[in-house]
């Protein structure tokens, strides 16, 4: 590798930096995507619109309503005054929940008996409805301890639960590592395929072949600048995650660097293979849609892997992004290192080795 | 009339060109079909079969019964773990929670004393962390009832009726959103491609030279991709009925009108993006970014709109998918009177007209500048 190679390297760097569109993909995309996912998606159950019909109208029933609205889980809205109106409002989506307290509520409680209340819950959003049900039961339990006239007793098995890694259950901490991987995936494939395809489209690849450098050197000179810019991409993503969303970085930076290096090789190889099978940038772009969409959907970036049906969960085992996101969450949130993540890292290594040798051989064949 | 005839000539040419490119045809029909399958099946939030590790330091009968009770419901499945520390199964993501039962558990319960159980839950999966906690609390209650052990008596018992979706099937919630996502992005992309292609291949100059006006050109292209968009929409809606077994319970006419307006809004947005972008790469970037961010994140597709942080939540008011998802949920799940969401078709029509006007204006400016 003589001066020819270094000249080639300089050329590749300059070419990459001159392309404004690629810089947008590398820098602006992570900013926009991370902010959008981090601020827009949250599974929290808060501010549900609740309509109440209180036939009991006593201090106790009002206390029950206050208990429901206290933690901002429910916001009190106009109920329409009677049960028919209330059900209509829930049906039309104007209310998320309705509560009917019967006239005998106060009396039953005073006698130390169990009082029933009726709840209508809009369950279109199955997930929210499930969590809401759990909340309600907890709120009613607490209410009982505060208002019981008689002995209510205590639970004999006391469950003391702790949320690890993300004690405040901050929603963005779930999405952000996924988005970092997703953005790297999209940017890596697009940028690496387009740098090769531009040479192909303009016909300058043949000119490169006539120079004294070997085809391996041409490929390496292409890869090094890509490595640098993709690491910049990760750096931008990480700084936003930590700066705006206060994502913790609990693990070893060196481990993250190594894992990311492996994953960059994976996406770069996919990009290079893409460039060898398509004849222009448009085609590559379209084909990349067919790759990116399933890769992202089946990666666990948006919805947890455990929730997927078995077929798709097994399919996701073939998805390199899945392993990268597990590693990102491991290093950033859980603070674990290679000693625990080695199975994932090994899989990523195999992916990188296989895909890289495949794409390099395809590239060479096309040059020959 | 002349306007329409010239526009339709443009439509015919566009559809002919579309048919000739197999990759675009695939993008138009195969990818939406596959995307729908993936979103419909794989976007599940609530985990079933949650892996749980048990660290039982008690050897009595009570703790064994307790563990049996936890796994009897089928919500949780036990995992065997060999590590030393109770955190190990969580660290290497084998389990979502570890339940630690202390050594004196059975003895204390036998002596009618309170026993404490520690639960460590992986908080990285925010949604399921809550579900796991609620689930374990409920199972503990049922264990106490089953064993006849004292438990806190709740004096208020809610009788909860889950409306529209009593089985809490997540497909009913996700499918309308997935329909909205798919029927917007792909037609928009194709329309943008068509506009940019004329520019990249230079054929747009011939169009400038011809007598066709900017409005006729945009209208012609929009009609072509509107037809394709409606076909995509028919495919994914049929798919929802057949594959996902979603019922139709709403007002067909209201839903049809909303679908027409929604597909139109996507196509018109695509043509506008095409007039702005200088090459196909940029066109894809604009459509994919706006499409995915808007239809997926700001539309209530996955999580409720009210959870979006202010002021970003304001943007969701102008996202077409948001209104279409409401209409689709009415049609497939709620079945309420469509008048409750009368604003949905109005907003969709407004968004369509807005981007149509922007596209025509953009086109005129381009013609003048050349």
CA of B35, closest CA in chain A: separation in Å?
Answer: 7
Question: Per residue in A222-235, is it b (16+ CB within 10 Å) or e — as a string?
Answer: bbebbeebbeebbe
Indicate yes or no: CB of A122 within 8 angstroms of CB of B164.
yes
pLDDT value for B165: 80
Q: CATH number for the domain including A112?
A: 3.40.1710.10
Indicate yes or no: CB of A92 within 8 angstroms of CB of B336.
yes
**What is the spatial distance between Cα A153 and Cα A185, in angstroms, rounded to a whole number?**
55
Please check whether residues A218 and A308 belong to one and the same domain. yes
Give the chain B residue nearest A326 (alpha carbons).
B93
Indicate yes or no: CB of A283 within 8 angstroms of CB of B35.
no
CA of B124, closest CA in chain A: separation in Å?
Answer: 6
> Which is nearest to B120 in space by CA: A159, A108, A367?
A159
Indicate yes or no: CB of B329 within 8 angstroms of CB of A124.
yes
Please check whether residues A69 and A201 belong to one and the same domain. no
| Residue A72 zone, left/alpha/beta (φ > 0; ψ -120 to 50; rest) | left
Q: Percent of chain A beyond pLDDT 90?
A: 31
pLDDT value for A368: 64
Chain A residues within an 8 Å CB radius of B143: 157
Chain A residues within an 8 Å CB radius of B326: 93
pLDDT value for B94: 86
**What is the spatial distance between Cα B52 and Cα B39, in angstroms, rounded to a whole number?**
27
Question: Looking at chain B, which residues constitute the CATH 3.40.1710.10 domain(s)?
Answer: 50-147
Q: Is the pLDDT of residue A318 over 80?
A: yes
Please check whether residues A278 and A331 belong to one and the same domain. yes
Question: Does some domain include residue A63?
Answer: yes
Contact A72, A47 (CB under 8 A): yes
CA of A48, closest CA in chain B: separation in Å?
Answer: 9
Chain A residues within an 8 Å CB radius of B161: 118-121
For residue A334, the 8-state DSSP code is I
Q: Predicted confidence band at A161 (pLDDT cuts at 50, 70, 90)? A: confident
> Tens digit of pLDDT for each residue in A135-149?
888 888 888 777 765
**What is the spatial distance between Cα B59 and Cα B61, in angstroms, rounded to a whole number?**
7
Question: Does some domain include residue A80?
Answer: yes
Indicate yes or no: CB of B136 within 8 angstroms of CB of A159.
yes
Indicate yes or no: CB of B162 within 8 angstroms of CB of A121.
yes
As given in the structure block, the two tokens for residue B263 are 């597909």
In this structure, which topology does domain B50-147 adopt according to CATH? abc type-2 transporter like fold (3.40.1710)
Please check whether residues A253 and A304 belong to one and the same domain. yes
> Tens digit of pLDDT for each residue in A216-273?
888 888 889 999 999 999 999 999 999 999 999 999 999 999 999 999 999 999 999 9
Q: Which of B151, B163, B308 sits opposite A90 (nearest CB)?
A: B163
In three state form, how does the secondary structure of A106-158 look?
HHHHHCCCCEEEEEEEECCCHHHHHHHHHHHHHHHHHHHHHHCCCCCCCCCEE
What is the CA B310 to chain-centroid distance, rounded? 21
Kind of pairing between the strands at B50-56 and B76-79: parallel
Indicate yes or no: CB of A138 within 8 angstroms of CB of B46.
no
Please check whether residues A318 and A263 belong to one and the same domain. yes
Question: Does some domain include residue A153?
Answer: no
**What is the spatial distance between Cα A300 and Cα A308, in angstroms, rounded to a whole number?**
9
Please check whether residues A183 and A330 belong to one and the same domain. yes
> Which is nearest to B231 in space by CA: B296, B187, B284, B188?
B187
CA of B116, closest CA in chain A: separation in Å?
Answer: 5
Q: Which of A123, A174, A306 sits opposite B126 (nearest CB)?
A: A174
For the full predicted model, state whether its pTM sits above 0.80.
Answer: yes
Range of the domain at A276: 3-41+169-367
Q: Of A114, A147, A180, which residue sits at a domain end?
A: A147
> What is the pLDDT of chain A when averaged over all its residues?
87
* Strand ranges across the sheet with A157-164: A157-164, B115-122, B97-101, B50-56, B76-79
Please check whether residues A75 and A220 belong to one and the same domain. no
Q: Which of B47, B153, B293 sits opposite A152 (nearest CB)?
A: B153
pLDDT value for B36: 92
Q: Which of A32, A126, A303 sits opposite B42 (nearest CB)?
A: A303
Please check whether residues A223 and A303 belong to one and the same domain. yes
For chain B, say whether A20 makes contact (Cβ under 8 Å). Answer: no
Please check whether residues A360 and A216 belong to one and the same domain. yes
Q: Which residue has the higher pLDDT, A72 or A249?
A: A249
> Which is nearest to A235 in space by CA: A197, A277, A264?
A264
Q: What is the domain count for chain A?
A: 2
Handedness of CA B236, B241, B247, B249 (dihedral sign): positive
> Which is nearest to A124 in space by CA: B360, B21, B87, B329?
B329
Contact A50, A97 (CB under 8 A): yes
Please check whether residues A87 and A143 belong to one and the same domain. yes
Please check whether residues A325 and A230 belong to one and the same domain. yes
Handedness of CA A29, A31, A34, A39 (dihedral sign): negative
Q: Which of B35, B118, B159 sits opposite A293 (nearest CB)?
A: B35
Average pLDDT over residues A83-91: 86
Give the chain B residue nearest A96 (alpha carbons).
B163
Q: Which of A45, A122, A302 sits opposite B43 (nearest CB)?
A: A302
> Which is nearest to A124 in space by CA: B248, B249, B173, B247?
B173
Best residue of B42, B116, B153, B328 to probe chain A, by most A CBs closer than 10 Å: B42
Chain B residues within an 8 Å CB radius of A136: 158, 160
| pLDDT, tens digit only, all 370 positions of chain B | 788 888 898 899 889 988 888 888 888 899 899 999 988 888 888 877 889 999 999 888 889 999 999 998 888 999 887 777 888 888 888 889 999 999 988 998 888 888 889 999 998 888 888 889 988 988 888 888 888 777 776 777 778 888 888 778 888 889 999 999 999 999 999 999 888 888 877 777 777 777 778 888 889 999 999 999 999 999 999 999 999 999 998 889 999 999 999 999 999 999 999 888 877 777 888 888 888 888 888 988 888 888 888 888 898 899 999 999 999 998 998 887 777 788 899 999 999 999 999 988 888 877 765 4
Indicate yes or no: CB of B123 within 8 angstroms of CB of A32.
no
Q: Which of A109, A126, A140 sits opposite B168 (nearest CB)?
A: A126
Considering only residues 164 to 183 of chain A, which have any Cβ-Cβ distance to chain B shorter than 8 Å? Answer: 164-167, 169-171, 173-174
**What is the spatial distance between Cα B86 and Cα A76, in angstroms, rounded to a whole number?**
43
Report CA-CA distances (Å) from A367 to A192, A202, A206, A210, A217: 17, 15, 8, 11, 12
- State chain B's maximal CA–CA distance in angstroms: 96
pLDDT value for B271: 92
CA of A211, closest CA in chain B: separation in Å?
Answer: 30
Average pLDDT over residues A322-331: 94
Length of chain B as a residue count: 370
Q: Is the pLDDT of residue A192 over 50?
A: yes
Please check whether residues A207 and A295 belong to one and the same domain. yes
Kind of pairing between the strands at B97-101 and B115-122: antiparallel
Question: Does some domain include residue A157?
Answer: no
Assess: ipTM above 0.90: no
């Amino acid at each position: 590798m003589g001066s020819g190679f270094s000249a080639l390297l300089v050329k590749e760097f300059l070419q990459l930096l001159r392309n404004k569109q690629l810089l947008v993909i590398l820098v602006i995309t992570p900013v926009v995507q991370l902010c959008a996912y981090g601020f827009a998606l949250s599974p929290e159950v808060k501010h549900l619109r609740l309509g109440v019909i209180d036939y009991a109208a006593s201090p106790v029933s009002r206390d029950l309503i206050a208990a429901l609205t206290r933690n901002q889980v429910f916001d009190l809205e106009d109920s329409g005054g009677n049960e028919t109106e209330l059900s209509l409002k829930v049906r039309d989506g104007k209310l998320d929940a309705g509560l009917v307290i019967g006239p005998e509520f106060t009396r039953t409680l005073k006698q130390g008996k169990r009082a029933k209340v009726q709840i209508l819950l809009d369950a279109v959003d199955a997930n929210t409805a499930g969590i809401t049900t759990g909340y309600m039961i907890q709120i009613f339990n607490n209410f009982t301890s505060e208002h019981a006239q008689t002995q209510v007793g205590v639970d004999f098995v006391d469950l003391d639960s702790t949320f690890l890694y993300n004690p405040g259950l901050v929603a963005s901490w779930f999405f952000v590592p996924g988005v970092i991987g997703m953005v790297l995936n999209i940017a890596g494939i697009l940028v690496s395929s387009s740098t090769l395809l531009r040479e192909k489209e303009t016909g300058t690849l043949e000119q490169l072949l006539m120079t004294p450098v070997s085809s391996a050197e041409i490929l390496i000179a292409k890869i090094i600048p890509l490595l640098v810019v993709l690491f910049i991409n990760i750096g931008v993503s990480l700084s936003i995650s930590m700066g705006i969303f206060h994502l913790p970085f609990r693990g070893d930076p060196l481990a993250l660097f190594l894992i990311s290096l492996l994953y960059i090789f994976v996406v770069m190889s996919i990009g290079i293979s893409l460039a060898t099978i398509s004849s222009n940038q448009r085609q590559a772009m379209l084909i990349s849609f067919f790759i990116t969409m399933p890769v992202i959907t089946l990666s666990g970036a948006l919805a947890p892997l455990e929730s997927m049906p078995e077929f798709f969960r097994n399919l996701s085992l073939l998805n390199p992004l899945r392993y990268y996101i597990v590693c990102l969450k491991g290093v950033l949130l859980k603070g674990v290192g290679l000693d625990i993540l080695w199975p994932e890292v090994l899989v990523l290594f195999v992916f990188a080795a296989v895909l890289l040798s495949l794409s390099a051989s395809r590239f060479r064949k096309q040059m020959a | 009339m002349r306007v329409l005839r010239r526009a339709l000539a443009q439509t015919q040419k566009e559809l002919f060109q579309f048919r000739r490119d197999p990759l675009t045809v695939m993008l138009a029909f195969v990818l939406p079909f596959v995307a729908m399958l993936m979103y419909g099946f794989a976007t599940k939030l609530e985990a079933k079969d949650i892996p749980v590790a048990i660290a039982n330091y008690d050897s009595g009968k009570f703790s064994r019964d307790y563990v049996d009770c936890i796994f009897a419901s089928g919500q949780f499945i036990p995992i065997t773990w060999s590590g030393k520390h109770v955190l190990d199964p969580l660290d290497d993501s084998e389990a979502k929670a570890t339940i630690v039962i202390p050594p004196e558990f059975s003895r204390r319960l036998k002596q009618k004393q309170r026993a404490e159980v520690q639960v460590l839950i992986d908080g990285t999966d925010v949604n399921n962390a809550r579900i796991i906690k609620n689930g374990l609390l409920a199972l503990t209650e049922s264990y106490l009832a089953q064993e006849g052990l004292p438990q806190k008596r709740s004096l208020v018992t809610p009788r909860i009726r889950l409306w529209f979706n009593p089985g809490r099937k997540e497909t009913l919630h996700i499918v309308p959103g997935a329909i909205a996502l798919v029927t917007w992005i792909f037609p928009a992309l194709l329309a943008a491609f068509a506009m940019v292609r004329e520019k990249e291949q230079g054929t747009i100059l011939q169009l400038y030279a011809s007598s066709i006006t900017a409005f006729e050109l945009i209208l012609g292209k929009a009609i072509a991709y509107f037809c394709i968009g409606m076909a995509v929409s028919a495919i994914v809606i049929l798919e929802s009925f057949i594959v996902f077994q979603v019922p139709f319970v709403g007002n067909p006419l209201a839903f049809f009108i909303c679908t027409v307006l929604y597909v139109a809004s996507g196509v018109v947005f695509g043509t506008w993006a095409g007039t702005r972008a200088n090459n196909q790469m940029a066109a894809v970037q604009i459509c994919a970014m706006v499409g995915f961010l808007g239809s997926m994140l700001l539309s209530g597709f996955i999580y409720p709109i009210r959870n979006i942080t202010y002021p970003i939540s304001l943007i969701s008011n102008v996202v077409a998918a948001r209104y279409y998802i409401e209409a689709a949920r009415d049609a497939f799940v709620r079945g309420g009177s469509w008048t409750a969401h009368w604003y949905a078709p109005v907003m969709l029509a407004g968004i369509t007209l807005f981007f149509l006007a922007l596209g025509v204006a953009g086109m005129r400016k381009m013609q003048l500048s050349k």
